[in-house]
Structure 1
């Protein structure tokens, strides 16, 4: 059986963990399981950074339900 070995440098485990957290948050947001605000929090980003990340991952930042739009409008006033 062939195998692949890769030695991780000291920063790779942290970077991998961070990338997995961002990817999971983006996917859960895309599936409508969590709000954009919660996804940004999970990803460790502010909402602007999270929206830019969604663009990079080719995920639409507009996954709002009618209820979420109403809440956003209510909170804005």
Structure 2
């Protein structure tokens, strides 16, 4: 799995009262939510990026101001046929 490294000032961790691992999870979820919102990732791939299940990802989207029901009519019909 590829690794991306981000250098952050220590003050950011202190201000957020987070460990590096905790902040990593927050950043992964925020990135996944935004990429999903922009239509760059499906909910399944975004959940994979966030490191959580698809159901948990869809449930968490509201905390990021992202709707989980932003489907086009075509996507909704496709989902209904695959259900």
The two structures share one fold, judged by TM-score above 0.5: yes
Q: Tell me the TM-score normalized by structure 1.
A: 0.73
In structure 2, the partner of 1:27 is 34
Higher relative contact order (CA 8 A, sep 6+): 1
Which residue number in structure 2 is paired with residue 48 of structure 1? 55
Select which of 31, 38, 44 maps to 1:37.
44
Q: CA RMSD in A?
A: 2.5
Of the two, which has the highest radius of gyration?
1
Structure 2 gap ranges (5+): 1-8
Q: TM-score, normalised by structure 2?
A: 0.69
Check conservation: 1:32, 1:63, Cα contact below 8 A. no
Q: Which ranges of structure 1 fall in alignment gaps of 5 or more residues? A: none
How many pairs are equivalent? 72
Q: CA 1:72–1:16 in 2, change beyond 3 Å: closer, same or farther? A: same
